[in-house]
Structure 1
Amino acid sequence: MELLVSMFPILIPIILLGFLNMPALKGMSVTAILVILASLFIWKMPLKALAASAIQGFHKSLTIAWILLGALLLLRALEYTGSVDRINAGFTKLTTDMRLQTILIVFLFGSLIEGVSGFGAPAMVTAPLLIALGFKPLSSIVLALVADSTAASFGAVGTPLTVGLSNTVGTAETGKVGLKIANLELISGTLVPLILIVMLVFLLPNQHTQNRLKSVLQVTPWCIAIGLVYSISNIGSQLLLGYELTSVISPIIALVIAILSIKFNILLPKDVKKNPWKQSPKITIKEPKTNISLVRAWMPYVLVVVLLVIPKLIRPIHDWLNTHVNLSLTNILGFKAIDSSWLLLASPGTVLLIVALLTVLLREESFRSFSREAWGVVKSMKTTILTLIVTLIMVQVFTNTSFNGANLDSMPGYLASFMATHLHGVWLAIAPILGAVGSFVTGSTTVSTLTFSSIQADVAIDAGLDKYLILAGQVIGAAVGNMICVYNIVSVSGVVGLKGEEGKVMRKTAIPAVAYLFFLIISIFVFK
C-alpha cells in the first residue's frame, strides 16, 4: 500500500494528463487532493506540517510565476517595439530552414540561458521565439522543453552540482562528478540536436511535402557535428575552468560554429537555402516594420545574459543581490528545513522585468500604452498560476512527509529505498531513472539530486560501483526529467498561450525523454 501511495505523484498525472488528456489544473488538483489524503491517513502527517508544506508550495509557485511574468512581459515588450520582427528577419536572412533554426534557438541559445539562469527560464524564453518564426505552438513548447536538458546538468552556473551534491560529496569530489557527466554526455548529449530534428519532422505536426526520412538524413551530419562540438567543449571547459561555467562556454562555442557552418553551407545539403524545410509551405515571415538594427533588436537578450552572468562573476554584486529584498521563508510554522527561497533581486524574473521595462523606455515608446499590454499579460496568467499553486503544494506535501506519525520514511525516500533494496543489482540503469523520477515530480535537477544523491551514493558503495559515475547518472537523469515535469509544461504553455493541451505535450516530450535515458544508460555501461 505504502509503495503504491508513494507513486501517486508519478502515476496519477501520467494517467490523468497523459492518457485521459485532462487539463493540468483539474488533473493536478485531483493529484494534490489524493496526495494530501494519503499524507494524513497513511503517513499520519501532522496538520501543522501539512499547512507548512502548503505555505511552502504556494510561496514556491510565486517565485516561478515571477519568472513567468518576466518572460511574458519581455516578449510583449519586444513585440511592442518591433524587435521580434527584426530578430525574425535576421534569422531568416541566415536561414529559413526550421530544422536549423530549431538547433540555433532552443538547443544553443536555450542552453546559454540555462547556463546563466536555469529555474525554467530557458524554455520560457525560446518557445516564444519559435512561435514568432512560424513554428506551431505545440512544436514550440515541446522543442523548447526537450532542448533544455543537456545544459541543465550544469545549469545556473553549476547549481545542480554545487547544491544538489552538497550533502553527499566534498567540493573536490564535485568536480569529479562533473567530469563524469561531461564524459557520459559524449554519447547521449551529442545526440540531442538529432533527437530534436526527429521530433520536429516525424512526431510534431507539419505539412512539408518532402520525404520525412530524407529530411532528417539531410541534416544528420550537421546535427552530430554540432552535438560533438558542444560535448567536447563541455569536457574542455571542465578541465580548464571547472564545472560552474560549462553550460555558458559550451553553447557559445557551439553557437559560433553553427552560425559559421550555416553561413558557409558546411555539412549541409546544397539546396538548403533554395529549398528550406518548413512545417507549412504557407509560412512567411513579415518584413520588420521598424528600422532598428539587428544588433539593437538583439540587445535585450544580450542584456539578459549579461545581467545574469555579472553577479556570478563579481562576488560583491552577488552578495548584495542575495542579501537585499529577501522574500524567503525559513522554518515555516516552526518546521526545520521547510523553507522556500525567494531572493527577489537575484531572481531571473527580476532581470527579465527590468530588461522589458528598459526595452520600452529606451525605444521611446508610450509607456502608458504598454502598461495596458502588461495588464493584459497579468490577467492571462490566472489559470497558469492556479495550476502552479496546486502542483507545488502537492510536491511539497509529498517531499515533506518525513514529518509523520507512522514512523515511515518520506514518500520519495520510501520509493527510493524500495528501489535500492530490490533493484541494486541493476543500479547502473536505475540511477538515471530515479533522477528523472525526482525531477518529474519536483521540476528541478537540483532538488531531485539533493533528495536522492545520498541514496545513490550508498547503493553505489554497497554494490561496489563507481560512486562518481552513479551520481553523474543521477544528475543527468534529473536533467532529462525536467522535460516531462508537469509544472514546467504548464509554465511554458502559459507563455505561449496554449492551454488545456498539457497532456498532449507530456505525451510528446515523454518520447525523447525515454530515448535520452536509453542512450544515457548505454553511456553509463560504456564508461563503467
Structure 2
Amino acid sequence: MDTFTATTTAVGGSVGLSALVAILPLLTFFIMLLGVKAKAHTSALSALLVSIIVAVIGFKMPVGLTLMSGTQGLAYGAFPIVWIIVTALWFYQVTVESGRFEDLRLTFDRIGGGDIRIQAILIAFCFGGLLEALAGFGAPVAITATMILALGVKPLRAAVTVLVANTAPVAFGALAIPITTAGTLTGENPAHIGAIVGHQAPFVAVLVPFILLYLLDGFRGVRDAWPAALVIGLSFGLAQWWSATHFSYELTDIVACLVSLGVAVLFLKVWKPRGTEAFRERIGIEAPRATEGLRPVRVWMALLPYLVVVGVFAVGKLWKAGIDVPVALKKTDIKIPWPVTSGHIVTSSGKPISGTTFNLQWLSNPGTMLLIAGLIVTVLYMIFHENGRYRLGFGQSVAQLWHCFYRMRWSALTIVSVLALAYVMNFSGQTVSIGTYLASLGGVFAFLAPTLGWLGTAVTGSDTSANALFSNLQHTAATNAGLDPDLMLAANTSGGVVGKMISPQSLAIAATAVEMEGKESEIFKRVIPWSLAMLVIICTLVFLQSDLISWMLP
C-alpha cells in the first residue's frame, strides 16, 4: 500500500482553505446536537462520516487508511476510555449497594455544616480534583456527578456543576501527564512548563468555586457563601502555584486538593453559610437526618472506598520503594501496530508516525485500578459489617458491573465515535490545518495560542491529546514569532483545561452519570458560556504574560 503524508495545504494549496474545510466535521457535530437536536451518538456518527469524506476528498487520504484510522480511534475509545467510565460508575454502585453511601452523605453534611452548596463544592472541586490528579480520563466527572446527585441536587444542575468544577485540575491531571507530554515531544523541560502553568491555572481555580455557587443557587448562593468559595479557591490556587513552582509539578493537584480540603474543614468550624435551609426549600431537598448518631466507625467505613482508591492509585502511580510499581505496570502494556495504518502514514521526511501503534494498557490504566479498588472494597465490606447490615455479597457487586455496561451503551457509542472522529481528523491533517492557520496569524498568536489547546481538548476530550496534537506546532510558531516556546506550550495546556467541559466525551460521561442520556445538548448549552468566558480570561492572561507582565513568569 502507498504511504500517506498529511499536509496543511491539501485543499487548494491554501492553509486557510484547508482549515475552513477541516472544521466541517466539528460544525456538523454541534449543528446536529444543537440545531437538529439529535442525540449525541447520532451527532457524533454524523460528524465522523463528514470527517471521513473530508479526509478522502479534501485531504486526499486513501480510503483504507482513513477507515482504519477511525477503527483505531474506536479501539482507544472503548479501551481504556469507556472501560474507565464503566468502572468509575461501578465503583460508585458498590458503595450504594452496600448502604454506606448514605453515611457518606451524612459525613459530608456534617463537614459542610448541612449546606448542600458547600458540600457540592467540596465533592466536585476538592475531591473531584484529587480523582483527576490520580486517574483523569473522565473518572472524576463520573464519580462526583453521582455523589452530588445523591445529595439531592437536580440532574442537569449536578452535571453542569461537575463539568465546570473539573476545569481547574485538568492541566495537572493524571500526575500532570499533559505537561509531561508537551515537554517530551518538544525537548523542553516539563518542570519549567509546569511552573508556567502554575502561574496560569490558579487564576481559573480561584474563580471556579464562585461559579459553582452561582450554578447551584444563583446570586443568592454567591451572597450567602462567598467566604467559603474564596477560602477554597484561594487555598487551591496558592497550593497549585507553590507546588508547580517550588515542589513537584507531577504532584501539584494532589497537594492543591488536600490543602484546599483541609483548609475548608478548618474554616467551616468557625464560619457557617447563610440561607442553608432556604436553599433546601427552594430546590425541594428534604432536611438531612440527624448526624449525631453517625458513629466514627460508620464515618470511617463510608470514607473507606475513597481512601482505597487513593491508596491504589498512589501505589500504582507513585510507589518506587523496593519495586518501581509504575515501571512494572508499564511493562505489561502491549504495543499493537495498527493494521494497514502502521508504517503507511509518514511524516514529510518519510518517517512513520508513532501514533499508529495502539498501546493496550490492560493493567496500568485507571479503569483496571478502579476495578481492583472496587474488589478490595467489596471484600472489606463482606468482612466488616454490622450484624448483616451494610453487607455486600461478591456476586451482588459483580452483577452491578454488567448493569453499568448496559447503562453506558449509548454513551459508549458516542465516546468511541468521537475518538474515531479525532483520529481521522488527526491522521488526515485536518486538526493540524486548523492549528497551523491560527498559528499563521502573526503577533496575535500570543492571544490565540490557548485556543489551540481548547480546540484539541474539545475534540478529543483529553488535554494530553491536545498537547500531543499541537505541542510541536506551538513550539515552532513561538520560535518563529519570537515568543517564549515554554509559555506557548503552557498556554496550550491551560487552554485545554477549559475545553474539556464541552467535549462530547465529557458531556456523554456527565449525562450518563446523572441519568440524562440523550440530553447532552441541554448540558452543552449550560456549560459553553463558561468555557468561552474562561478561555477569554486565559487568552488575555497569556497575551499579557508574553509582554507586559512577563516578569511574573518563573
The answer on 1:196 being equivalent to 2:202 is no
Partner residue, 1:241: 247
Q: Which of 277, 280, 283 is the matching residue for 2:283?
A: 280
Match of 1:116 among 129, 134, 140: 134
**How far did 1:85 drift?**
0.6
Flag the 1:174–1:368 CA change in 2: closer, same or farther, 3 A. closer
Distance 1:30 1:131, change over 3 A: same
**Normalising by structure 2, what TM-score?**
0.86
User: Which deviates more from structure 2 when the two are superposed, residues 71-80 or residues 180-189?
Assistant: 180-189
Deviation at 1:277, TM superposition (A): 5.5
Matching residue of 2:463: 445
Partner of 1:252: 258
Hey, what does 2:434 align to over in structure 1? Answer: 415
Are 2:481 and 1:463 aligned?
yes
Q: What is the CA distance between 1:413 and its match in structure 2?
A: 1.3
Give, as a single letter, the amino acid of the residue that structure 1 aligns with 2:97. Y
Question: 1:79-118 maps to which residues of 2 (within 5 A)?
Answer: 79-94=96-111, 95-118=113-136
- Using the alignment, how far apart are the partners of 1:174 and 1:354 within structure 2? 31
SS in 1 for 2:268: helix
Instruction: Report if aligned partners of 1:184, 1:527 keep a CA contact under 8 Å in 2.
Output: no
- Does 1:505 find its partner at 2:533? no
CA distance in structure 1 between the partners assigned to 2:280 and 2:249 by the alignment:
36
8 Å contact kept, 1:10–1:437:
no
Pick aligned residue for 1:174 from 168, 179, 190: 190
The one of 403, 425, 438 aligned to 1:376 = 403
How far off its partner does 1:310 sit? 1.6
Q: Which residue of 1 aligns with 2:51?
A: 35
Asked whether the 8 Å contact 1:179–1:238 carries over to 2, the reply is yes
**1:70 Cα deviation after fit:** 0.6
Any conservation in 1 of the 2:41–2:410 contact (CA below 8 Å)? yes
Aligned to 1:162: 180
CA distance in 1 between counterparts of 2:427 and 2:86 reads 28
Does structure 1 retain, via aligned residues, the 8 Å contact 2:243–2:252? yes
Task: Check whether the contact 1:57–1:395 (CA below 8 A) recurs between aligned residues.
Answer: yes
Tell me the equivalent position of 1:406: none
Q: Distance in 1 between matches of 2:19 and 2:245?
A: 42
Write the deviation string for residues 409-467 of structure 1: whole angstroms up to 9, x where unpaired: x111111111122x222122201111100110011101111211222122222222232
Q: Percent identity, aligned pairs only?
A: 27
Give 1:134 deviation, angstroms.
Answer: 0.7
Contact 1:97 1:278 in 2 (8 A): no
Query: Can you give the 5+ residue segments of structure 1 that lack an aligned partner in the other structure?
Result: 203-212, 402-409
- Contact 2:239/2:259 (<8 A) preserved: yes
Shift of residue 351, structure 1, vs aligned partner: 1.8
Sort the Cα spacing of 1:122 and 1:188 in 2 relative to 1 into closer, same or farther, 3 A. same
- Other-structure match for 2:14: none
Name the structure 1 match of 2:305: 300
8 Å contact kept, 2:224–2:275: no
Alpha-carbon distance between aligned partners in 2 of 1:424 and 1:343, rounded to the nearest angstrom: 41
Larger deviation: 445-454 or 192-201? 192-201
**Partners in 1 of 2:545 and 2:70 — Cα distance?**
42
* Mapped contact 2:362–2:368 kept (Cα < 8 A): yes
Residue 489 (structure 1) aligns with: 507
8 Å Cα contact 2:182/2:489 also seen in 1? no
Alignment of 1:376-395 (within 5 A): 376-395=403-422
Q: TM-score, normalised by structure 1?
A: 0.90
**Conserved? CA contact 2:52–2:67, under 8 Å:** no
1:221 aligns with 2:237: no
Runs of 4+ in 1 over 3 A off after TM superposition: 271-279, 281-292, 369-374
Equivalences for 1:12-161 in 2 at 5 Å?
Answer: 12-62=28-78, 63-94=80-111, 95-161=113-179
Seen in structure 2, the aligned counterparts of structure 1 residues 287 and 383 have a Cα distance that, compared at 3 Å, is: farther
Q: Is the 8 A contact 1:165 1:450 kept in 2?
A: no
Q: Distance in 2 between matches of 1:11 and 1:419?
A: 17
CA contact (8 A) 2:125 2:165 kept: yes
Paired with 1:245 and 1:486, the residues of 2 have a C-alpha distance of 28
Q: 2-side partners of 1:282 and 1:420: how far apart?
A: 50
2: CA distance between counterparts of 1:313 and 1:355?
A: 16
Question: Following TM superposition, by how much is the alpha carbon of 1:274 offset from its aligned partner in structure 2, in angstroms?
Answer: 5.8
Aligned to 1:317: 325
Within 2, Cα distance between the matches of 1:145 and 1:278?
A: 25
**Which residue does the alignment assign to 2:369?**
351
In structure 2, the CA distance between the partners of 1:243 and 1:297, relative to structure 1 (3 Å rule), is: same
Deviates more, 1:295-304 or 1:350-359: 350-359
Q: Deviations over 1:217-270 (max 9, x none)?
A: 2322331232121111112112332211001111100110011111221xx54x
What does the per-residue CA deviation read over 1:151-195, in whole Å, with 9 as the maximum and x for residues that have no partner?
11111111001113322233xx32222111111234233111112
| Greater relative contact order (Cα < 8 A, sep 6+) | 1
Kindly indicate whether the alpha-carbon contact (under 8 Å) linking 1:332 and 1:339 is maintained by their aligned counterparts in 2: no
Is the 1:71–1:495 contact (alpha carbons within 8 Å) kept by the matching residues of 2? Answer: no
